[in-house]
Amino acid sequence: MAFEFTDDNFKTTTESGIHVVDFWAEWCGPCRMVSPIVEELATEYQGKATVGKVNVDHHPKVSTEFGIRSIPTILIIKDGQVVEKHVGMITKQKLAEKIDAQL
């Protein structure tokens, strides 16, 4: 199951290690298409990377901090720094390749 990033836990959670963060909203059609991919990768990368989601409607602080203007937006954060950003739809294979490049 994907980790739930929030305004409160985001900074401390992403300080070290690799984190894949899907910024999404319930009303967003493309977000609903990416969601199963994020869930599958959360299971597959368990113990290697934290894969999770931020609901932009519920957690606007972190969304604003990272300048999220379009969703879905996926950030890969390594040791507190954004190392990869993807806006829009992405295949499971492409996202896995981006994660693997950071491991």
Residue 50, token pair as written in the block: 């934290």
Is 28 known to be catalytic? yes
Q: Residues 71, 23: contact at Cβ < 8 Å?
A: yes
Catalytic residue among 31, 49, 56, 95: 31
Q: 25 vs 11, 66, 67, CA distance in Å?
A: 20, 16, 15
Catalytic residue among 13, 25, 28, 45: 28
Is 49 known to be catalytic? no
Q: What residues act catalytically?
A: 28, 31
